[in-house]
Amino acid sequence: MIRIMILTGLPRTLLFTLRARAEEDGRSHPILCDPLAADWYGRVSPASMDIYTPVFQLGTAVRAHLYDIITKRFLERRPNGLVVELGAGLSTRFQRLRQYRASWIELDLPDAIAFRRQFDTETNRHIFLPTSMTAADWPRQLPCAQPQDILFIAEGVLFFLPPDEIARLFEALNGHFPGATLALDVLTNRFSPKARAAFAASDTPMQWFVDDETDLTQFGLSLLESRVVTHLFPERWQALGFAPERLKRSKGNIVVTTSIGG
């Protein structure tokens, strides 16, 4: 068993998303197949999962599925591209999509990267970068690549940052990588107050919300595509008690593909 006591605050959430993918892999008809997540989670000693719920599990699985689709489409156009996962946690997307020849960067806080190294091995094509995505110097640490060959992924992480850090991140992306692709998900002001309160009480407050995805254009991003997480796999959401009409109206978590720098 691998101990997890060092993980607090935001880095601790990587265990929740790992568990969500592991549990999805164990279903008879999974949205997402992720046997490596199941293996890694099976090696983790038990931890407090006070904010983990079936709704969180399903939302995480659907969101990961959407990011896989976005990444596959990008790499079909740019097979030798560079994928940079911001706030990577224990993402296993590199392994799930290893049929592509892309280079991959897992960027996260030092504690999260140190934890990752207990499971995963760095290679010349799969690099771990222990830094904050809001640090000033990380863009200069990436391998050389044309911006149009880079896909940035910010999966389930940006809404934990305060608005001033969000603005600083987008300013850095616009300054260093105009023309690159950024896939991110946003929480809107309609997002569940109950979930917000639970995360805040667990020392992981959600801090950045938007009215809708069009708010992203103020940061120099061009919208390419958006999907509402609760609009996919409605039968699974209904099994958790969500009425069909409520699902149609819901727009709390949106996965968006954008072009950086307008």
Lowest-confidence pick of 16-20, 93-97, 200-204, 256-260: 200-204
- pLDDT(167) > 90: yes
- Quote the domain boundaries for residue 203: 53-260
In a domain, 47, yes or no: no
Distance between CA atoms of residues 106 and 78, nearest Å? 19
In a domain, 6, yes or no: no
CATH number of the domain where residue 154 is located: 3.40.50.150
In a domain, 143, yes or no: yes
> pLDDT above 70 covers what percent of the chain?
94
- Measured between alpha carbons, how far is residue 87 from residues 11, 25, 78, 79 in Å? 9, 22, 23, 23
Q: What is the DSSP string of 220-237?
A: TEEEEEEEEGGGSSHHHH
Mean pLDDT of 15-27: 95
In a domain, 15, yes or no: no
In a domain, 42, yes or no: no
* This prediction's pTM: 0.94
> pLDDT above 90 covers what percent of the chain?
78
Overall domain count for the chain: 1
In a domain, 32, yes or no: no
Judge residue 214's burial from the number of C-beta atoms within 10 Å of its C-beta, 0-12 exposed, 13-18 middle, 19 or more buried: exposed
In a domain, 29, yes or no: no
pLDDT-derived band at 43, boundaries 50, 70, 90: confident
In a domain, 3, yes or no: no
pLDDT at site 4:
46
pLDDT-derived band at 9, boundaries 50, 70, 90: low
Mean pLDDT of 68-89: 96
Distance between CA atoms of residues 48 and 257, nearest Å? 33
pLDDT at site 5:
42
pLDDT tens for 24-35 read: 999 999 999 999
- pLDDT(57) > 80: yes
